[in-house]
Structure 1
């Protein structure tokens, strides 16, 4: 019943729009500062997260520490690009309602990455809102550019019924 409400109710789309704008603003604000200042470096964060993997009650699990040590820190230059631009594009996608579910998914992936690294902050509440957006699907983006963009893409790249039928007939023995 709740899923149907999230996916189909017009009032839910209004609430989801407000939530989408809030989370989008948080991402845009974080990404904007990192991209415009031009001096973002994730090294300190990554090494700090790695240091939280030791001790009696580690905040970072060993498998994530292995990822940080074996991939993230050696490829820090890649993360110095992915993090600020990812935050910026997730924010823009959520604010404008463009590729909303993809933006929410990528936002959730980043939030989980920060939480795996031992940083709590606003990440849990943002994940909760992003999951609601993901579950609601298209209803979360009805008040946004996806209202026109998704049908355009669907119509543009999905074969028409008569094209499918003719291709089926031509492939018949």
Structure 2
């Protein structure tokens, strides 16, 4: 107990090693690059597709949403609240959301591969995985979601073999004060 009557519970050695020790960075490098290439491959396929970002932008997303709405109508894998969101927000703006998904996947992939803002890239990758899962699409989404969640937890060391090694000390963290001078 310290002066403020706050009890500090020490971190266990396994989580300290995995999430705070740069010796675990090789493990995270392998996971990070695997997840990054999965996102880059998926995103590149969309960016170069006419149905996602070309003349017919939004067409592929409209088809995807149509399938999700059909699953919801059948009482299947898509919750009513998410179907309502897809129908009233995403579907009318399918072109914009198509660009966001396509380029977002590429950016997440590049961020993870190069280890730049790894925790943020992994967070947005996990967010997209959850969005696809809510829409009733399994594929690799559960695995990528789990790995992305681990990368978010390991943000301090997951980019050690990457650009975060230099970027994070320069950017700092919101909860640390920078010295003036």
| TM-score after normalising by structure 1 | 0.86
1:106 aligns with 2:124: yes
Larger RCO (CA within 8 A; separation ≥ 6) = 1
CA separation of 1:63 and 1:160: change in aligned 2, threshold 3 A: closer
Question: 1:49 maps to which residue?
Answer: 68
Distance in 1, Cα, partners of 2:133 & 2:33: 22
Structure 1: any 5+ residue segments left out of the alignment?
164-173
What's the RMSD between the two structures over aligned residues? 1.7
CA separation of 1:153 and 1:43: change in aligned 2, threshold 3 A: same
1:136 deviates by: 1.1
CA separation of 1:161 and 1:70: change in aligned 2, threshold 3 A: same
1:67 aligns with 2:79: no
| TM-score after normalising by structure 2 | 0.83
1:36 deviates by: 2.0
Question: 1:168 maps to which residue?
Answer: none
Distance in 1, Cα, partners of 2:20 & 2:89: 42
Structure 2: any 5+ residue segments left out of the alignment?
1-11, 53-59
The structure with the largest helix share of the pair is 1
Match of 1:89 among 107, 111, 114: 107
Aligned length: 160
Distance in 1, Cα, partners of 2:124 & 2:45: 19
Does the 8 A contact of 2:22 with 2:160 survive in 1? Answer: no
CA separation of 1:117 and 1:138: change in aligned 2, threshold 3 A: same
- For the residue of structure 2 that corresponds to 1:120, the secondary structure is coil
1:54 deviates by: 2.0
1:37 deviates by: 3.0
Distance in 1, Cα, partners of 2:87 & 2:171: 40
Provide Cα deviations, 1:71-125, integer angstroms capped at 9, x if missing partner: 0101111111101100000000000001111100000000000000000010000
Distance in 2, Cα, partners of 1:9 & 1:153: 20
1:134 aligns with 2:158: no
CA separation of 1:159 and 1:10: change in aligned 2, threshold 3 A: closer
- For the residue of structure 2 that corresponds to 1:67, the secondary structure is helix
